[in-house]
Copies of this chain bind each other. A is one copy, B any other.
Amino acid sequence: MASFEESGRPAADHDALTAWRAALDAERVASDAATLARYACSTAASPTMPLAVLRPRSTEEVSAVVRIAARHRLALYAISTGKNWGYGDACAPSDGQVIVDLSGMNRILEVSAALAYVVLEPGVTQQQLSRYLIEHDIPLWMDCTGAGPDTSLVGNILERGFGHSPYGNRFQNVAGMQVVMADGAVLDTGFGHFPNAQATRVFPYGVGPVLDGLFTQSNLGIVTRLGLWLMPQTACINHFLCRVERHEQIAPVVDALRPLRLDGTLRSIIHIGNDLRVISGGRVYPRARAGGQLPLPDALRREMRAEAGVGAWTVSGALYGSAAQVALARRALRRALKPTGAPPQFLDERKLALAGLAARWLASWPVGRRLGAKVRLGRSLFDMNRGIPNGRFLAGAYWRRQAGLPADFPAHANPALDNCGMLWVSPIVPMRGDELLRLHALAEPIFQRHGFDLFVTFSMINERALGGVITVAYDKEDAGEAARAGVCYRQLFDAIMAAGYIPYRVGLQSMADLNGGNDVYWQVVGKIKAALDPDRMLAPGRYDGGRRGDPAGDA
């Protein structure tokens, strides 16, 4: 295996490595081919290759890493745990950047049960915080994403990801960041930079300009610590599901739910998934039954829909509160959905336990097995609602994978290491039924044309907007299919941009396509970048308005 030193790279790189080894201990500075290849694993067809991987363990070490990089003019790309699947994984925008892997900084630094917050380092995973709260009997729930137990909370928040609970609009729950700047200085945002500050974790804005937004979806600093508000546990949760049989029927459902989301009856993120999104959660593409056809033939799709007992769309969400509050919300939801002909079904702990019992009784019959599967799904949803992560929601990434789901799925599921092909497109649309249909109608023919199955979820990520997540799942081992996936992705991306349904987040492959030119926003971002990181040392090409062909955007 070729080591970094043997690979003929310039002396400057060698000197930087030597300096980093002195600063971090040698074993936390890697440049061997196997390590580099592991970090280059990606759900995208053309990952990038890092120059080296550094694993600092403290803010001070991150500062030291940055100062050495500045001296040697090497680009750094920080990752939290590097599980940004579908958006670039652990990869930098271009080859030859040095990965700064913060997964070893995984301390939970502070917890306040009374004021309902924690202070985290970037390496803290969903599983870790979830378990910590349970083991220490702290009556708070973490907001959880479907990305599985081993993903970083901070990493997701810095990408402005969203989860499932009333705290699912995660960026809104950040209270104070610590950030290492390109010159190695350590910035504390909010009140955190004042000596003896008492309110840093309870009031995020501080006094003076609010800087926190600058360090999300950006390359302006390396966040090493973050205050995060958590939700106090409620006495009661009900999960609810509702479905519509025909595609167009989802529009009035969206319009019926919007007032309840706006008035706070529905406090959590509501997810609206199409049939394939739900079906792909438990199985891979039925190659044999499809007779080699791609995409899924309509008749087979209808069959599978019936087998899975789902409609064209499934709405899934949770009600939180006291038993009486939840009962009121149930009533409001029933009333609102009545005219749509899509009544909600409610799931509570008692129903779930009874169904579990029934499934065990009937375990040897098909009906019992189907019930068992539903109980396991219900249990996972319930767990998610109260901040217990589950890898099963990653199944969609494996949809076209030749080898199917790993035997031990969902344990240790890692779509990048498992060589899954997946690209995500995440347009935001106003929360209106007609807008959902319009966006869907844009996407459908593009997927058809290129032979892909359109999975889509629309999430009510705040009170007024739907966050669409459209998956291009492809077989990474089939070069033709991978190429078609790239074209499908690209056409979809161009179509949503032209229609004005701009994504809330993009993968590396689209970073250089966010700036149409002469855009004052990107000019301002560029000026700030030049002021804070004049040598463009931090993550060049990441959300910086660089365009293909520009010196700043040749990613």
A435 contacts B525, C-beta separation under 8 Å: no
Closest to A464 in B: B202
> Inside 8 A of A212's CB, which chain B residues have their CB?
210, 213
Question: Min CB distance, A538 to chain B, in Å?
Answer: 12
Contact of A498 among B193, B196, B325 (CB under 8 A): B196
B262 contacts A203, C-beta separation under 8 Å: no
1/0 per residue A108-140: CB within 8 Å of B?
Answer: 000000111100000000000000000000000
> Inside 8 A of A3's CB, which chain B residues have their CB?
none
Known contacts: A197-B502, A432-B114, A528-B531. The answer to whether A186 contacts B520 by CB under 8 A is yes
Question: Min CB distance, A265 to chain B, in Å?
Answer: 8
Contact of A187 among B202, B464, B524 (CB under 8 A): B524
Which of A214-222, A306-314, A369-377 faces chain B? A214-222
* A362 CB–B CB distance under 8 Å: no
Which of A337-345, A378-386, A407-415, A503-511 faces chain B? A503-511
Closest to A259 in B: B232
B521 contacts A532, C-beta separation under 8 Å: no
B435 contacts A188, C-beta separation under 8 Å: no
Alpha-carbon gap, A209 to B505, bound state (A)? 11
Alpha-carbon gap, A210 to B497, bound state (A)? 19
> Inside 8 A of A211's CB, which chain B residues have their CB?
213-214, 521, 524-525
Known contacts: A172-B172, A185-B523. The answer to whether A430 contacts B198 by CB under 8 A is yes
B213 contacts A429, C-beta separation under 8 Å: no
A501 contacts B198, C-beta separation under 8 Å: yes
Alpha-carbon gap, A195 to B514, bound state (A)? 11
B232 contacts A462, C-beta separation under 8 Å: no
* A390 CB–B CB distance under 8 Å: no
> Inside 8 A of A215's CB, which chain B residues have their CB?
209
Which residues of A440-477 are within 8 A (CB) of B? 461-465, 467
Which residues of A485-515 are within 8 A (CB) of B? 497-506, 514
Closest to A210 in B: B213
> Inside 8 A of A532's CB, which chain B residues have their CB?
524, 527-528
B504 contacts A428, C-beta separation under 8 Å: no
Q: How many copies of this protein are present in the complex?
A: 2
Known contacts: A203-B464, A263-B234, A431-B202. The answer to whether A528 contacts B528 by CB under 8 A is yes
Which residues of A172-215 are within 8 A (CB) of B? 172, 175, 181, 185-189, 191, 193-199, 201-203, 205-215
B520 contacts A187, C-beta separation under 8 Å: yes
* A543 CB–B CB distance under 8 Å: yes
Known contacts: A115-B431, A232-B263. The answer to whether A208 contacts B218 by CB under 8 A is yes
* Chain A residues within 8 Å of B, Cβ to Cβ: 114-117, 160, 166, 171-172, 175, 181, 185-189, 191, 193-199, 201-203, 205-218, 220, 229, 232, 234, 258-259, 262-264, 267, 321-322, 324-325, 328, 332, 428-432, 435, 461-465, 467, 497-506, 514, 516, 519-525, 527-528, 530-532, 543, 545
Cβ contacts A to B, 29 pairs, < 8 Å: A115-B431, A115-B432, A115-B464, A116-B464, A160-B205, A181-B520, A185-B520, A185-B523, A187-B520, A193-B522, A196-B499, A196-B500, A198-B429, A198-B502, A199-B501, A202-B464, A203-B462, A203-B465, A208-B217, A208-B543, A209-B213, A209-B214, A209-B217, A212-B213, A213-B214, A264-B264, A527-B532, A528-B532, A530-B531
Q: A160-B205, A201-B464, A528-B528 are in contact. List 12 more A-B contacts (CB 8 A).
A: A191-B502, A196-B498, A198-B501, A199-B502, A202-B464, A205-B216, A210-B213, A229-B463, A229-B464, A322-B328, A324-B328, A527-B532
Please list the 5 inter-chain residue pairs (A to B) with the smallest Cβ-Cβ separation, ordered nearest first: A210-B213, A531-B531, A196-B500, A202-B464, A193-B521
